[in-house]
Structures are given as C-alpha cells and as structure tokens.
A and B are shown apart, each in its own frame.
Chain A
Amino acid sequence: MTRKLANIILLFVAVSLCYGLQVSKPRYGDLIGPIPSRGRLGDTVVGRSFEVRVEKVKFAHNLKVDRFGEAKILTTGGVWAVVTVEFAARAQSMTVAVASWRGPTGLTYDQTERLSFTDGLLPVAVDPGLPKKARLIFEMRPAEASNANLLISEKLMSALDSQAEISLGPVATGSDGLPAGTVEMLDMTQPI
C-alpha cells in the first residue's frame, strides 16, 4: 500500500517537473535576440562593434528641413524627438543603421522615414579613431517621451549581436501634455 502511494506521488512529482521544464523553456526568439549593453544619458555604451554616447534630447512641434534645396516644414500629430549621439567604431569600419525609441508603456517607435534626404541621419558609416555625430529623429505620442529607452543596433535583425539600450530618464511634462521645453521649430539644416 505504502509502495503504491509512493509510486503515485513519484509520478506526480515527475509530471510537475516535466511541466515546469516545458513552461520555463526559453523561446527561440529570446535565445537568438539581441544582446543588450545598457547605459544612461551621457554614458559611453560599448557594444561589440561600436560605442555610442547620447549627448542631448530635444523635443519640437515642427522640424525645418531642406528638401532638394527648398525649405520644408514637417509637422506631426504627436511630438518630434531629436537625439544627438556620437558614434565610435571599435576595431573596424562599420555602419549603424537602426534606432528605435521604446516608451514607458513598451510602444516602440522606429526612426522616422520622412526625412530620408537629410544629412546626419542613420545609416551612419563610422571608422575607427574617427568618432562621428549623428541625429536620431523620432515621431511619437507625447506620453511616450518620459522614461524612455533608446535602442541602437547595427542592423535590423540584430540576432546575437549587441544592441545599445540607453535609458533617457524622466522628462517633465508641461501644462499642455507635451514634454517641458518643447520648442516650436527645430532647424535640421544646421550642422549637428
């Protein structure tokens, strides 16, 4: 009788152990995902092939750009965020191509595709010993501006490659719901 009971208990233990293993198994997407290297605003974040430092973040209602020699104003339904960063290549020449802004709620805003004709945007080619500044421009809902993370990687499918994950910290919100210090117009034709 005790032997039977012991067998049944052993069976249950084995079933729950197997179930636990199945549930806690890491998914393929997690296994081959990017490898984060974390930092804060102003830190130099070191990845496998590049280093990056975020200098400043500015918010604006409109952007002034130069499209084929004529000035153009880009409006948005949310708010523009312009991040100035400095890249450095580590061992060989490389290109940084992808950046996205992950807000506090997890919504991920890719770099805008509306300014593809402006200088200083990604993709940026960087050579060792020659650090280079670049602008990352995002369009987002005002609520996603505070406590955001900036994700920067070499290419879109950065499987098993490092991804800089830079915490941008809290941003005060003004009375109109926009981040404090949001300017009416930022001039993208100015050098970085």
Chain B
Amino acid sequence: MLENAGSRLKAWLMAGIGTAAAIAVAGVMGAFGARHEPVPVLAPASRIETGQWLLRPLKAYVTAEKNVYGAPLKSGGKALVLELEMTNRTAKSTKDYFEVLQPNPAIIDPATKPFIVLTRDSTLSPELHPGMPERMAYIWQLSDGAAPPASLDLTIIHKTYKQRDNLYGLPGWFNPTPIGVLMLPVGSGPDTADIQP
C-alpha cells in the first residue's frame, strides 16, 4: 500500500516537472510575448519602413481650396491633406499603397477613401518605381460641417514578403499588421512648413 503511494507520488511529481518544463520552454521561446501589445508611437520626423515602402511624413493640413493637386473633390467642402515622401523598397514598380496609412476612424470615416496623388504633376495614383523617392499627397474629403481635427492620427500598416503564397505559389506581400501610430499636427493651409528631420 505504502509502496503504491510512493510510486503514485513519483508519477505526480514527474508529471508536474514535465508540465513546468514545457511551460518554461514555451515562455523562453516567446509564447507569452504574443499578447496584443499596444503599437509604439512613431516620431513624426522619422523615416518609417513598412516592408514595401519607406515613408517620410512632410506635412498635414486642412484646406478649403477646390483644386488640391487636381483631385476631384466636392466643391464647398474641406479636405485633409497629408504630404509625404514615399520610396518603393521592392524590386518592382507597384501601387500597393492604398492600405499603408489608416487614419483614426474618429477623425475620418473609414468608408472615405483618399485620393492619392503624385504632387510632381498631379497624376492620380500612379505606380511608383523602385528606389525613386516621390512626394505624394493623400487627400481625404472631410464630411460637411465637421470641425477640422487638431492632429492626424495614422496607423501604419506593414506587409511581409513571401516567396510563395499558399494559394498560387507565387511571390507577393501579405499579412498586413500595424507597426505603429503616427500623430501629425494639422496645419491650417498649404503653406504649412515641412517637418524637418
């Protein structure tokens, strides 16, 4: 009977040690780091790398002008404009920049899609070419009567390169994840000075 109890205790102890070891190994390998941690706040004067793009925010402003870089805006309304320098870091020309910046839904209705314009000659959403920095403008139409925000909060989305995706076995950029939040002061007009690094 006693002998039996001893071997039972031994079995319990072994099982306990095994479980503890498994949890410790999982902890060392970072299983508990996968909690949803708040994304870091990025400095406005920094260069932000998002996998495909290198971003340098330049300025944000609200304007009531009708012709902002030739974007087809509704007349009488106001528009929130973000100007930034974008460099394509990939090996191919691409225009996969529609989801890189996501404004805070409290400021801009998520259903409002921005006009994305090359400021050089007001081309609407052109492909950007590898290694060539270009100044781009994101133009959001603000809803009528909305007060212009004091600060533009953006979530920056990063994508990861996969040599072969699981569906077609072809290379591409996948898995959008937020890497940080950017808060830019909103100026009162197009003459707002650029953010200096």
Contacts and interface: CB of A to CB of B under 8 A. Distances in A.
Nearest to A73: B121
* B92, B133, B168 — most chain A CB neighbours (10 Å): B92
B159 interface: no
Interface string B168-187: 11110000000000000000
Contacts of B169: 27-29
* B126, B131, B164, B171 — most chain A CB neighbours (10 Å): B131
B126 A114 contact: yes
Contact of A28 (B93, B132, B133, B168): B168
Contacts of A109: 93, 129-130
B131 A114 contact: no
A41 to B, nearest CB: 22
B120 interface: yes
Interface string A88-132: 000000000000100000111110111000000000000000000
Contacts, number: 54
A177 interface: no
Contacts of B170: 28-29
Interface residues of B, number: 20
Interface residues of A, number: 20
Contacts of A114: 118, 121, 123, 126
Interface in A130-154: 139-141
B127 interface: yes
Contact of B126 (A28, A100, A106, A112): A112
Given A28-B170, A29-B170, A107-B91, A113 B129 contact: no
A107 B131 contact: yes
Interface in A37-89: 72, 74-75, 77-78
Given A107-B130, A108-B91, A75 B168 contact: no
B49 interface: no
A113 B170 CA distance: 25
A139 B91 contact: no
Contacts of B129: 78, 109-110, 139-141
Contacts of B118: 114
Contact of A106 (B91, B127, B134): B91
Contacts of A108: 91-93, 130
Nearest to A75: B120
A110 B93 CA distance: 6
The 5 closest A-B pairs by CB, nearest first: A28-B169, A110-B93, A107-B130, A113-B126, A29-B170
Given A29-B168, A74-B121, A77-B134, 15 more contacts: A28-B169, A29-B164, A77-B133, A107-B91, A107-B131, A108-B93, A108-B130, A110-B92, A110-B93, A112-B127, A113-B127, A114-B118, A139-B129, A141-B130, A141-B132
8 contacts: A28-B164, A75-B120, A75-B121, A77-B132, A77-B133, A107-B131, A113-B123, A141-B132
